[in-house]
Amino acid sequence: SSSVLHRDGRIKAVGQADVIRNQFSGATFERKIDCTGKCILPGLVDAHTHPVWAGDRVHEFAMKLAGASYMEIHQAGGGIHFTVEHTRKATEEELFSTFKHRLECMCRAGSTLVECKSGYGLNLETELKMLRVIERAKQSLDIGISSTYCGAHSVPKGKTATEATDDIINNHLPKLKELKQSGEIHVNNIDVFCEKGVFDLDSTRRILQAGKDIGLQINFHGDELHPMKSAELGAELGARAISHLEEVSDEGITAMARAKCAAVLLPTTAYMLRLKQPQARKMLNEGVIVALGSDFNPNAYCFSMPMVMHLACVNMKMSMNEALAAATINAAYALGKSDTHGSIEVGKQGDLVVINSSRWEHLIYQFGGHQALIDYVIVKGKIVYKNERCGIMSSY
């Protein structure tokens, strides 16, 4: 089969090659790509990343391997706090340049739409610096971005959770609303790390509700290290998506299915932190919309959605079809963009990945093989990445 992309970046036709050849026999094309023997997939959607920061945590990886838990490192002033310190000191230029490089790596691995969070500032000035960096990438780069204000990623040093919550509701969110109205920064989602020792259920409810009141979609971290009833809260508040859910309750799963609240599962996190894997099978069986994200951040340094899909299949027992849907149409749904992104359908945005194999399953089957497998990445009908090897096989 074959597809045609229009100059406006949308998909014009999809179908059998000979039918399309007849349908467009009179048309002229700016560019034709011969995909004989190849596969065309929807561009991958990464539903959860933290890609704007300075201060990597490679030194902590050794501590984790030696048995230190996430919370032990966090309470010792490492983890998020370490990255916050470095991100506060970094200039907007430095942050933009590393962020741009990371997005390019994601794009080469097939991602065409990425959710990007702030959250390593924890004070208004640095959170806004991060959101400006994300906004600049939105305006100037080809890759699609859904931006998330995650000022409640951790309780800043010297504040209690209640004080941090009040600061976010009284100072951060009104400022975001003002910047949205002036057209300077357009944030899509609001996120809170709802966790024991971070933001409790009540603080989380207050922040998410205040974000919803200024028109942000609710899309937050819940039930990762301890069962917190985050899923029940999300369903009650009309959340678009909840991430992590390693410790979700049975009632929470049922509530999410009923509320059509997406579960964004992060197999890299459970793998790196040696946590219990999220119950993907139970969620799928109960009718929850399951999406995937890389959770790219200094704690889980992974750009590649094909590797995330592979881990989802092996460690969370998803089928390859389920994993592909979770990394395309369901991830788009988790970002409120499934009407325009996430599948190859007429009228949708022309975001495609062309792989050099006649079977699409190779994208999941080959663990870490995407560099040699992906021939083209196309966003809005424009080639944004072309594998060097493609030239060798060109139109002879």
Relative orientation angle of helices 92-108 and 124-140, to the nearest 10 degrees: 50
Q: What does the pLDDT average to over 358-381?
A: 96
Domain contains 274:
yes
CATH number for the domain including 168?
Answer: 3.20.20.140
* Residues sharing a CB contact under 8 Å with residue 240, sequence separation 6 or more, in sequence order: 189, 217, 218, 219, 261, 262, 334, 335, 336
The pLDDT score that the predictor gives to residue 392 is: 57
Domain contains 190:
yes
Cα angle 8-48-298, degrees, rounded to a multiple of 5: 125
The pLDDT score that the predictor gives to residue 394 is: 45
Q: What does the pLDDT average to over 316-330?
A: 99
The answer to whether residue 163 scores a pLDDT higher than 90 is: yes
For the chain, the straight-line distance linking the first and the last C-alpha, in angstroms and rounded, comes to 22
Domain contains 131:
yes
Domain contains 287:
yes
Across all residues in the chain, what is the average pLDDT?
96
The pLDDT score that the predictor gives to residue 343 is: 98
Q: What does the pLDDT average to over 20-28?
A: 92
Query: Tens digits of per-residue pLDDT, 371-380?
Result: 999 999 999 9
The pLDDT score that the predictor gives to residue 1 is: 72
Query: Tens digits of per-residue pLDDT, 92-127?
Result: 999 999 999 999 999 999 999 999 999 999 999 999
Domain contains 94:
yes
Q: What does the pLDDT average to over 299-313?
A: 97
Burial string for 153-188 (b: 16+ CB within 10 Å, else e) reads bbbbeeeebeebbebbbeebbeebbebeeeeebebb
Say how far apart CA 233 and CA 223 lie, in whole Å: 11
Query: Is beta strand 217-222 parallel, antiparallel or unpaired with respect to 241-244?
Result: parallel
Q: Domain residues for 281?
A: 44-54+90-303
Query: Tens digits of per-residue pLDDT, 205-243?
Result: 999 999 999 999 999 999 999 999 999 999 999 999 999
Domain contains 146:
yes
* Residues sharing a CB contact under 8 Å with residue 108, sequence separation 6 or more, in sequence order: 370, 371, 374, 377, 385
Domain count, the chain: 1
Domain contains 275:
yes
The answer to whether residue 391 scores a pLDDT higher than 80 is: no
Domain contains 125:
yes
Q: How many CB atoms lie within 10 A of CB 300?
A: 20
The answer to whether residue 40 scores a pLDDT higher than 50 is: yes
